[in-house]
Structure 1
Amino acid sequence: MPAFGALVAEPLFLLADSAIVGRLGTEPLGGLGVAGQALATAVYLFVFLAYGTTAAVARQVGAGNLRAAVRQGIDGMWLALALGAVLVAVALPLVPWIVEVFGANAVVAPYAETYLRISLFGIPGMLVILAGTGVLRGLQDARTPLQVSVGSFGLNLVLNALFVLVLGWGIAGSAWGTVIAQNAGAAVYVVTVLRGARRHGAPVRPSRTGLRAAATAGVHLLIRTLALRLVLIVGTAIAARMGTGETAAYPVSFQVWTLLAFAHDAVAIAGQSITGRYLGAGDAPGARAATRRMVEWGLLGGVVFAVGLLVARPWLPALFTADPGVRELLLTALVLVAVQQPIAGVVFVLDGVLIGAGDMRYLAATTLIATVVFLPAALAAYRLDAGLVGLWLAIGLWMLTRLITLGLRARGDAWLVTGAVRD
């Protein structure tokens, strides 16, 4: 539950910005949307900082090496800071090009460039937050990340209201408010981890070996993340080419899918931490038993979400559109979203379990396989004029492929590598 709260709190940053910037007019709001997508993409690509750190720290905790666990987490945070600095240095001169790539027109572009240019200085803080979250989750602490997320969101809301509505700084004020809130959250993580280092006698300077281990795990998780991102981008692009109704209905149906994914991912994050701890302690039977229990939770959650969505389905489209054609498309799409939830529940859990086991290479390979299966299926849906039904069936095939590949791995023993460090 704390992991779910932290996951939901993060998207509230952009929602708070949107609510306040929307008072400035349509053009600033459009600029925020473009810049927000660029920033979200950057952060999404580096989510491995949280996942890889969780797995490594949890193993050391299971082995009883709290000093090494904190040390591992500190290396992950150093890597995050270094990557953030490089990203800022590379992206700042490219801001106009990035804004153009993300589709800003001539009216919206100046606002998007202003917001993005300032917000880039929050990227190192956001990456440190990702790594710090991984440290605390690996230490079996899910409550502190929730508290930091809620606190950062509250600070962001107050500062944005002050800078934009009271001081009149415009969209730049919204960007500065977010940057300050993000870096404040990062500072809390740094202080928390430094206290842990002092308590357990762990050095705080970066270790070349630790940085190399964090980066190596990150490469495979980055490949996995890029493959997942490709599916999202291609799905949106194909829906946009199907027609106006599909262009409007697909993002809504996908947002419903994403909201439910946050709940599934909360169990998956628990799976990362719990699996790493058991394997670090040398308890392979315990890791398998915990996996079985979490799969049951994932399947149960998927069934509950499916039933709940089917019950709410007749009323949901009216919340988003008054267009009868779009409503009809949504009614059909939501059935397919609901049907996929039990599969999604198990897939998310197994993904988290294998991340916790440090089985990154297998995850990268099988996610690529699932993406290769999805791409021709999605293209066929477009060519055959199958509409959203065809596109959601392609997504369902993608999820089914992931279920099969992850399920086969979980049934075997190759992922059950015990010890404080996975070789």
Structure 2
Amino acid sequence: MSAVSSVPNPFRLAILYIGFALARAGLIERERVVRTTDLAWPRIVTGVARMSKNAVDVAMVGSAVGVSAVAGVGFAGPFWGLAFAIGGGVAGGTIALVSQRYGAEAHEELGLAVRSSTLLVVVVSLPVTAAFWLIPGELIGLISSNERAIALGADYLKIVGLGVPFAGLNLVGSRVLVGADDAYTAMQVRAGGAVVNVVLNAVFIFGLGWGVEGAALGTVLSNVVAVAAFAVGLTRGALPGMGAFPVTIDPFGNYLDPGTLRDLVEIGAPVGARNLVWTVAEFPMLAILDVFGENTVAAFVIARRIWGIMNTPGWGFGLASSSLVGQELGTNDEASAEAYARDIIRFSVATYLVSAALIAVAAADIVVLFADSPDSPAIPIATNLVYAACVAVILQGVSGGAAGPLDAAGDTKIPFLSQLLGMFGGSIPLAYLGAAGLSVPSVTVPLLGVATPAVALAPLGYWGLYLAFLAETSIPAAINYARFRTGKWKAISQNYRPDAAAADD
């Protein structure tokens, strides 16, 4: 049992309550509830802290500067999302290699995986930082023609781009600890960074009057603080105030092992591409929303921030699945790996149901916090988008839960393709139909051999945006779960297990 089992945290207790209810119903094993919860709840808390931080950023900027600033930060959002696509991709390879090596007690190979991940994320992210610094206005201008929003978005992007390498390293450090069965320490570091971010933003935005630039600087500095904490803890084996780390990494070892770098790229590239789908999809989505007007853009940005908070169970259960399934695969126990995966999918969906219900009840009250006036026309639009998100996010539990074991096994191409299809085959086209005001064609449906009158449906309008949320999650959920059911991921994992790495050497 993990050391965090005795931590009297309300998040942990709430998740345990859900898990034990499922166990009493005979849907999952009670022992797996405890171990999964001990890995998942710290990551969920980290997600809540970081997503709440993002939401607070938007609320602060909206309150201090106005709707144009919210739109500007929203337009810069997908560019900043590149940091998490890059870092998340490398970190996806990191957790797969670390968890399997940790389960097999292959400590030397584990250290090599961490050093290689560090080098790879820095090399890939530096060109992105350079582009954001040199041409921020041109980049934001690709999405919108709103001059005020472009100017504010460019100011934000130029500064926040300095944090891209640190955001990637932050993710890698977190995945190392989660893969080594210690999500609690990772939570302390990253949630602490989120708290630092909120405090700095309050000082920079309201105290010094720096507006969107203050929000960007707070994000950069908070990531620097978190990366420094991970670096000290992993190289020394402990961090003052947080105790011992589960692994100690020699910073002076080999960083350029071709086999390890190849494995990181093979596993991580589809993970990064999957994250990139979300980011890239925001570009056409925001351009489409720009047709609706500034208030709709701001409403969508608000709804996505609230969506981020609702989606935090997936952070925990996805990584718990990757870690626990990976550890079982590392010991060649495929039956236990599949059992963990199946239980975590059910656990994840149940937790998403609770999360969505709570947000739906409070949606109207939450949305008001993001506007500079309770009479803002963006508020009712955002509220309805949040209701749509509450329905769609439940299917995210299936999608993310099924992707966890695939990621642990190195079978990362299918989750990427499913997300690609969900966004560009479903979500974006539906949003476009809404913006274009197009009608679904009238049809005549034969019924018992008699033709019924054609039914002309009204223009989609905002319904296009509501359905876009649903398509974004339902398509990946169906594909990822179908792939999990085939069991092919277990065979694929054999290529990345410690004994396979040793054979390559």
* TM-score normalized with structure 1 length: 0.83
**3-state SS, counterpart of residue 498 of structure 2:** coil
CA distance change for structure 1 residues 355 and 422 in 2, over 3 Å: closer, same or farther?
farther
Structure 2 letter corresponding to 1:287: A
CA distance in 2, matches of 1:239, 1:86: 29
Superposition pairs of residues 343-362 of structure 1, within 5 angstroms: 343-362=395-414
Corresponding residue for residue 92 of structure 1: 133
Residue of structure 1 in register with 2:482 after alignment: 408
More helix per residue: 1
Instruction: Tell me the amino acid that sits aligned with residue 10 of structure 1.
Output: R
CA distance in 2, matches of 1:74, 1:303: 39
Residue 281 (structure 1) aligned to one of 331, 348, 354: 331
> Could you say if the C-alpha distance between residues 182 and 326 of structure 1 is closer, same or farther in structure 2, counting changes exceeding 3 Å?
closer
**Aligned counterparts of 2:463 and 2:119: Cα–Cα separation in 1:** 45
Displacement of 1:199 after TM fit?
4.6
Checking the alignment, whether the CA contact within 8 Å between 2:83 and 2:167 is kept in structure 1 is yes
Q: Could you tell me whether the CA contact under 8 Å between 2:104 and 2:330 is conserved in 1? A: yes
1:383 aligns with 2:438: yes
Structure 1 letter corresponding to 2:348? G
Q: Tell me how far apart the structure 2 counterparts of residues 212 and 98 of structure 1 sit (CA, whole Å).
A: 32
Partner of 1:64: 105
**74 and 234 in structure 1: CA distance in 2 versus 1, 3 angstrom threshold:** same
Deviations 1:352-404 (A, max 9, x none): 22112211122223333334530444444552222333432344244332222
Residue 298 of structure 1 aligns with an amino acid whose one-letter code is S
Task: Determine which of 355, 359, 368 is the counterpart of 1:305.
Answer: 355
Find the partner of 2:415 among 352, 360, 363. Answer: 363
Q: Alpha-carbon deviation of 1:105? A: 5.3
| SS of the residue 1:206 aligns to | coil
Query: Once structures 1 and 2 are overlaid, which stretch shifts more, 152-161 or 28-37?
Result: 28-37
Cα distance, 1:17–1:203 mapped onto 2, change above 3 Å? same
Q: Which moved more, 1:117-126 or 1:67-76?
A: 117-126
> Which segment is superposed worse, 185-194 or 220-229?
220-229
Q: Tell me, in whole angstroms, the C-alpha distance in 1 between the residues paired with 2:194 and 2:168.
A: 16
Shift of 1:331: 6.6
Query: Paired residue for 1:208?
Result: 257
Determine the C-alpha separation between the residues in 1 that align with 2:188 and 2:115: 20
Cα distance in 2, alignment partners of residues 244 and 95 from structure 1: 20
Answer whether contact 1:21 1:28 (CA < 8 A) is retained: no
Which residue is equivalent to 1:148? 189
Among candidates 179, 183, 193, match of residue 224 of structure 2: 183
- Could you tell me which residue of structure 1 aligns to residue 473 of structure 2? 399
Helix, strand or coil: the match of 1:121? Answer: helix
Q: Against the structure 1 CA distance between its residues 166 and 262, is the aligned structure 2 distance closer, same or farther, given a 3 Å change threshold?
A: closer
User: What is the rounded CA distance, in whole Å, between the counterparts of 1:15 and 1:313 in structure 2?
Assistant: 14
Which deviates more from structure 2 when the two are superposed, residues 330-339 or residues 128-137? 330-339
2:376 and 2:156 mapped to 1: Cα distance? 36
- Mapped partners of 1:83, 1:241: distance in 2: 34
Distance 2:75 2:285 in 1: 21
Provide Cα deviations, 1:241-261, integer angstroms capped at 9, x if missing partner: 457886565545444433211
The yes-or-no answer on 1:119 pairing with 2:168 is no
Cα distance change, pair 412–278 in 1 and its aligned pair in 2 (3 A)? same
Distance 2:174 2:420 in 1: 27
**Mapped partners of 2:169, 2:481: distance in 1:** 33
SS in 2 for 1:282: coil
Separation (CA, whole Å) in 1 of partners of 2:465 and 2:175: 34
Looking at structure 2, the residues matched to 170 and 305 of structure 1 have their Cα atoms a distance apart, in angstroms, of 32
**Structure 1 residues 104, 334: closer, same or farther in 2, change over 3 A?**
closer
CA displacement at 1:88 relative to structure 2: 2.6
Distance (whole Å) between structure 1 residues aligned to residue 209 and residue 381 of structure 2: 42
- Shift in alpha-carbon separation, 1:237–1:166, aligned structure 2, 3 A: closer
**5+ unaligned residues in a row in structure 1: which ranges?**
none
Query: Judging changes above 3 Å, is the alpha-carbon distance between structure 1 residues 24 and 156 closer, same or farther for their aligned structure 2 residues?
Result: same
1:320: how far off? 6.5
Matched residue type, 2:77: Q
Q: What per-residue deviation string (whole Å, max 9, x for no partner) do you get for residues 290-348 of structure 1?
A: 01111111221233234445544676666678569877766765554343343221112
| 1:257–1:337 contact (8 Å) kept in structure 2 | yes
Distance in 2 (CA, whole Å) between partners of 1:403 and 1:239 is 25
CA distance in 1, matches of 2:319, 2:236: 24
Structure 1 pair 213/111, CA: closer, same or farther in 2 (3 Å)? Answer: same
Relative to structure 1, the CA distance from residue 117 to residue 73 in structure 2 (aligned partners, 3 Å threshold; closer, same or farther) is same
- One of 84, 87, 91 as aligned partner of 1:44: 84
Matched, 1:79 2:120: yes
Between 388-397 and 283-292, report the one with greater CA deviation. Answer: 388-397
Task: Specify the structure having the higher radius of gyration (Cα).
Answer: 2
Question: In the alignment, what sits opposite 2:42?
Answer: 2
TM-score, length basis structure 2: 0.71
Contact 1:4 1:265 in 2 (8 A): yes
Task: In structure 2, list runs of 5 or more residues that go unmatched.
Answer: 1-40, 238-245, 440-458
Q: Shift of the alpha carbon at 1:349?
A: 0.8
- Which letter does structure 1 place at the counterpart of 2:413? R
Give the drift of 1:289.
0.6
Higher alpha-carbon deviation: 157-166 or 62-71: 157-166
Task: Mark the CA change 1:63 to 1:180 in structure 2 (over 3 Å): closer, same or farther.
Answer: same
Q: What percentage of aligned pairs have identical amino acids?
A: 23
Provide the secondary structure at the position in 2 that maps to 1:207: coil
* Residue 137 in structure 1 maps to residue 199 in structure 2: no
Task: Check 1:392–1:158 CA distance in 2 against 1; reply closer, same or farther (3 A cut).
Answer: closer
Shift in CA distance, 28/118, structure 1 to aligned 2, threshold 3 Å: farther
Q: Distance in 2 between matches of 1:410 and 1:170?
A: 46
Deviation at 1:91, TM superposition (A): 3.5
Q: Which amino acid aligns with 2:165?
A: P
**1:420 equivalent among 492, 498, 501:** 498
Q: Flag the 1:305–1:74 CA change in 2: closer, same or farther, 3 A.
A: same
Give the distance between the partners of 1:127 and 1:278, measured in 2 at CA: 27
Q: Distance in 1 between matches of 2:50 and 2:175?
A: 15
Q: Aligned-pair distance for 1:137?
A: 1.4
Deviation at 1:142, TM superposition (A): 1.0
Aligned to 1:271: 321
Quote the offset at 1:12 in angstroms. Answer: 5.0
